Amino acid sequence: MLLAGVGALGVVFGDIGTSPLYTFKTVLDMTGGDNPHTIYGVISLLIWTLIVVTTIKYAGFAMRIDNDGEGGILALMALLGVKRHKRPMIVAAGLFGAALIYGDGAITPAISVLSALEGLNIVEPSLQHYVLPLTALILLALFAFQPAGTARIGRAFGPIMALWFITMAVLGIWGIAKHPAILWALNPYYGLAYLLHSGGGGFLVLGGVFLCVTGAEALYADMGHFGAGPIKLAWSGLVFPSLVLNYAGQGAIVLAGAPTAGNIFYRLCPAALTVPLIVLATMATIIASQSIITGAFSMTRQAIQLGWMPRLKVSQTSEEGYGQIYVGAVNWLLMLVTIGLALGFRKSDNLASAYGIAVSATMLMTTVLLFIAMREIWKWHLAASIVVAGLFFVVDLSFFASNMTKLLDGGYVPLMLAILVYLVMYIWHRGLVALGARLGEDPIPVDAFLDELTRSCVARVPGTAVFLTRAKATTPAVMQLYVKHTMALHKRVLAVTLDIASVPYIARRDRLALAEIQPNYWAITARYGFMERPDMPALMAQIATHGCPIDPTQLTYFVGMEKIVGREGPQRLPHWIRSIFTIMLRNCSRMTDYLRIPAEQVVDIGRQVSI
């Protein structure tokens, strides 16, 4: 568990672990003062936000609810909105929560790297002009490196982040020693008193305070990679104490008279060690950015599997871990948005205004799903569920409302990105459902179709044909079209349906269901979890061991290539949805590539479908 905990440091805690670089400075700028009442109040709010949101809500409650070991808002959505009941509202909330993560995911690398390099201003003010170009260069290199994979660098992530957290703790202790009275801020009274006696200003400050927990969602989302135990161990044993000590240290040096101009985080460091600290901070922010990018790849694959995202080319970059993947379209789009945000906002202080809205909205939706889980999975009494979830809801709603005041100052950016991603998900799924319904109209029973082949003297040629179909109990539409145009059919036919379950993984023993419903006609259903990628050659090899006499290397796969046109009547899709879906379908990854079917064994059959 200890080794897994060290590994989690480099993946799970990169975002929340680099927040001390900019959070306290941002909040102090919002308060407009550095008097003791403000400092004690702000530090108390930061510490208790970490306790309530991260320690209690996520580590204490959310991580006790998993979808066969997987966590995160998409896994929770699949568990509560698909697996247990068909609930479109829960599905919509979960998907929009996932879309919001893309929005803030584009900001995290920009604000993290910018804030790390802004330490150069303290070393030498004339270096300020190089901060932005260096930030763009580092971000460009980071995204350009993604196609090569991160398996080797990943091994070093944990130890580097461990050094980062230890360094933050030591710097925090050094700062506290200059004004030990800052430890009184551990008392929540100071935070509450500040909120109650600061009027509307105290409420607005919550938007800045929230920056200290923007990476808390990762504890839950990455639970499937490391397990709840190692993540909780790393959080309580190193990450949380380091964050508390560092925030307290920053507050202490301000109380001791340190200037608040520039990045306060670097004021904790002796001047001779500032440059090495900048290098370490930059490495930590690169690791945090890498975690965000990897998380976006993983979430994209989940959405594709669940049928909410167009098929994109997903490349496995390492055989060592299923999470080592690369999605080119996501990588380059994220790169353009991230570098654009860094160049557009220019300073981490400015980016902080755009940061937080998306994550606070996601946390709010997670709380709603937690309430449902308390009632349905844990079987809690209604009153107990309302009290616990209500506490989280009030906290999350307060942060969300405070963050919404930053909407016109840049907060619209992650919301716009999230809305675009959600629209892509909605249109793709709506189009897939309409396409499936259209192809399923006027079904022909397999027995009737095969009997008609015999009566029509359709030639049966040597070989085995594999038809991919959505229809489990009726004749595949692609097979009907093929026979209609060729008046021939292979002697052996496999009708294969791929089912994506609302669980992350399917055991190999539960993968297949096959039956020979007519001589040499096999109906096969293959089940996959939303964290798995179907592999047709591997599937055929498994089928060959289940009594189906085939040679996986001597198969011909028939795949339908749909051309979408409009239809008449009340069941037609709105023109704008059909047009965008058509563009997506035309430009998404080929089904045969996604299923890893050898190109020399594929026959594409074009068909026109009106939806």
Which residue matches tokens 């209609």? 484
Which has the higher per-residue pLDDT, 357 or 335?
A: 335
Question: For 57-86, what is the mean pLDDT?
Answer: 77
Position of tokens 């009153």?
A: 383
Question: How far apart, in Å, are the Cα atoms of 158 and each of 6, 138, 276, 288?
Answer: 5, 20, 19, 11
534-564 tens-digit pLDDT? 889 999 999 988 888 888 888 999 988 888 8
347 in Cβ contact with 116 (< 8 Å): no
C-alpha count within 13 angstroms, C-beta hemisphere, residue 331: 21
Q: Of 37, 110, 79, 57, nearest to 417 (Cα)?
A: 110
- pLDDT attached to residue 163: 94
- 172-181, 326-335, 433-442: the lowest-pLDDT one: 433-442
Closest CA to 371 of 388, 394, 350: 388
Ranges of H-type helices in 306-327: none
- The closest alpha carbon to 287, from 4, 9, 3, 10, belongs to 10
Q: What is the number of other CB atoms lying within 10 angstroms of the CB of residue 129?
A: 9
3-class SS letters over 234-249:
HHHHHHHHHHHHHHHH
Identify the pLDDT of residue 72: 76
409-425, pLDDT tens digit by residue?
Answer: 888 888 888 899 999 99
Tokens 């050659």 correspond to: 537
Give the residue among 76, 53, 59, 96 at the shortest CA–CA distance from 396. 53
Cβ pair 264, 28 in contact under 8 A:
yes
Q: Specify the length of the chain in residues.
A: 611
Amino acid at 519: P
Q: Does pLDDT of 359 surpass 60?
A: yes
| Per-residue pLDDT at 236 exceeds 60 | yes
Going across the sheet that includes 512-518, the strands are 512-518, 521-528, 488-500, 459-468, 555-565, 602-610
Residue 36 tokens, joined: 């003791």
- pLDDT tier for residue 4 given thresholds of 50, 70 and 90: low
Q: Note the pLDDT of residue 185.
A: 94
What local confidence, expressed as pLDDT, does residue 77 receive? 77
- Model pLDDT, residue 243: 97
Beta strands 512-518; 314-316: pairing state: unpaired
Torsion (CA) 105, 111, 116, 120 in degrees, nearest 10: 150
Region at 487 (left for phi over 0; alpha for psi -120 to 50; beta for the rest): left
Q: Which of 584, 585, 583, 580 is CA-nearest to residue 562?
A: 585
